[in-house]
Structures are given as structure tokens and as C-alpha cells.
Amino acid sequence: MHDRKSLSLAAELRRNLRAEFPAVARLSVSDPDFMEAILDYAGRSQSNMVQAAALTLRSQLEGSGYLKRPEVERPNKEGGSSASHAHSPKRRVYRGRIIEDPE
């Protein structure tokens, strides 16, 4: 699943985020969306140390193929929004869990 280095960095992030976000304490490493949730909390954190550790973790996860690199959206020649983009569900974190918004 994940290598030891990524898990230890995620555990360190979790410890550092507990003071700022108490809901982080309920996250479990065995949760399938644990890494995404930790990175989401770290992105909202005010701590520069936490954000730097999150960038390191994200690059490790992208290098291992766990996370996909964000694709750069190319402007559509037709000028309208693409049909596939209109039906894609939005993701958000609710009580420490990543959920899909059906919209």
C-alpha cells in the first residue's frame, strides 16, 4: 500500500495537525482516504512547517503513483465548458472523510 517513509511522514503530520484540527485524531491510517484527508487538512493549516511536510508527502505519493498529478486544463476551442467537466462530482472533506458531491 504505502511505503514506511510516507506513513511515518503522514503520522508526523497527523500529530502536528491535532492542535489545529481536533477531527484529525479520528483519522485512521487504515482508512482508504487517509492520505487525501491528511493532505487536505495540511493545505488548510496555518503552519508553514506542516505545509512543507505536506508538499514532501504529496511529492512522495505522486512519485509512487498513489496520487495523480493535477492536470492542467487546456482552454476549450469552442469557448464553452466541456461536457465531462460539467458532470464530474466535486470532492470535499466532511468530518475527516472525503465525500463526493453529486450535484
Residue 78: pLDDT band with limits 50, 70, 90? low
Model confidence over 22-39: pLDDT tens digits? 988 888 877 888 888 888
Give domain status of residue 87, yes or no: no
> In the prediction, which pLDDT does 34 show?
83
Within-domain flag for 40: yes
Instruction: Indicate the number of domains in the chain.
Output: 1
> Does 65 map to a domain?
yes
Residue percentage of the chain with pLDDT more than 90: 0
What is the model's pLDDT at position 100? 72
Helix axes 34-44, 48-64, angle to 10 degrees: 150
- In a domain? residue 89: no
Q: Is residue 95 part of a domain?
A: no
Residue 63 lies in a domain: yes
Q: What is the three-class DSSP state of 73?
A: coil
Provide DSSP, 16-82. Answer: HHTTT-GGGGG--TTSTTHHHHHHHHHHH-S-HHHHHHHHHHHHHHHHHTSSPPPPPPPPPTTSSPP
Domain hosting residue 9, numbered range: 1-69
| pTM of the predicted structure, to 2 decimals | 0.57
Q: Would 38 be classed as within a structural domain?
A: yes
The pLDDT of residue 76: 58
